[in-house]
Structure 1
Amino acid sequence: MAARSSRSSSRAPLTSTGDTIPEAPITTAFTTIRLEKDRDNPRRITVYLDEAPSSFIDLDDPLNVGFEYMSIFLAFIEQLPEGPISVAHLGAAGSTMARAVAHVRPGSRQIGVDIDGELIDQARLWFDLPRSPHLKLRAGDARKELATLRDSSQDVIIRDVFADARTPEHLATHEFTELILSKLKPGGLYLVNCADKPPLPIARQEVATLLSAAAAFDARSEHTISSEVAYAAETAIVKGRRFGNLVLVIARGAQDDQAGSAFDIESPMLARALRTLAIPAHILIGDDVRQFARTSNVLRDSAPETQPHVS
Structure 2
Amino acid sequence: MDRESTGPGRREVRFGTAELMRDLDRPNGWLLSVAGVAQSYVDLDDPTYLDFDYVRRIGDIIDALPAGPLRALHIGGGACTLPRYVAATRPGSRQLVFDLDAELIDFVRAHLDLRSVPDTRVRIADGRAGVASRPGNSADLIVLDAFERAAMPSGLVTVEFTRDVARVLRPRGTYVVNVSDGPGLRFARHVVATVLSVFDSAILLADPGVFRGRRFGNLVLAAGDLPVADLTRHAASGAFPARVLADDGLRAFAGRAAPITDAAPMAAPTPPETAFT
TM-score by length of 1: 0.79
Q: Which residue of structure 2 aligns with residue 73 of structure 1?
A: 58
Q: Which residue of structure 1 aligns with residue 231 of structure 2?
A: 270
Counting only pairs closer than 5 Å after superposition, residues 134-213 of structure 1 correspond to structure 2 as 134-213=119-198
1:22 aligned to which of 8, 13, 28:
8
| Range with bigger deviation, 39-48 or 51-60 | 39-48
| Range with bigger deviation, 32-41 or 143-152 | 32-41
Gap regions ≥5 residues in structure 1: 5-19, 215-226, 252-262, 305-311
Q: Hey, what's the Cα distance between the residues in 2 that align with 1:30 and 1:234?
A: 28
How many residues in Structure 1 have an aligned counterpart in Structure 2? Answer: 261
TM-score by length of 2: 0.88
Q: Which residue of structure 2 aligns with residue 16 of structure 1?
A: none
Contact kept, 8 Å, 1:232 with 1:238, in 2: the verdict is no
Q: Which residue of structure 1 aligns with residue 99 of structure 2?
A: 114
Counting only pairs closer than 5 Å after superposition, residues 92-107 of structure 1 correspond to structure 2 as 92-107=77-92
Contact kept, 8 Å, 1:45 with 1:58, in 2: the verdict is yes
Q: Which residue of structure 1 aligns with residue 214 of structure 2?
A: 241
Q: Which residue of structure 2 aligns with residue 14 of structure 1?
A: none
Q: Which residue of structure 2 aligns with residue 50 of structure 1?
A: 35
Q: How far apart are residue 76 of structure 1 and its match? A: 0.6
Shift in alpha-carbon separation, 1:151–1:277, aligned structure 2, 3 A? same
Contact kept, 8 Å, 2:15 with 2:149, in 1: the verdict is no
Q: How far apart are residue 75 of structure 1 and its match? A: 0.5
- In proportion to residue count, which structure has more strand? 2
Q: Hey, what's the Cα distance between the residues in 1 that align with 2:97 and 2:86?
A: 12
1:69-110 deviations in whole A, cap 9, x for unaligned?
Answer: 111111011111111001111001100001111111011001
Gap regions ≥5 residues in structure 2: 266-277
Amino acid in structure 1 at the alignment position of 2:77: A
Q: How far apart are residue 132 of structure 1 and its match? A: 7.6
Contact kept, 8 Å, 1:58 with 1:64, in 2: the verdict is yes
Amino acid in structure 2 at the alignment position of 1:44: G
Residue 295, structure 1, aligned to residue 256, structure 2: yes
Q: How far apart are residue 42 of structure 1 and its match? A: 5.0
Q: Hey, what's the Cα distance between the residues in 1 that align with 2:125 and 2:221?
A: 24
Contact kept, 8 Å, 1:234 with 1:282, in 2: the verdict is yes
CA RMSD of aligned residues (A): 2.0
- Residue 164 of structure 1 aligns to a residue whose secondary structure is coil
How many percent identity over aligned positions? 38
Choose 1 or 2 for highest CA Rg: 1
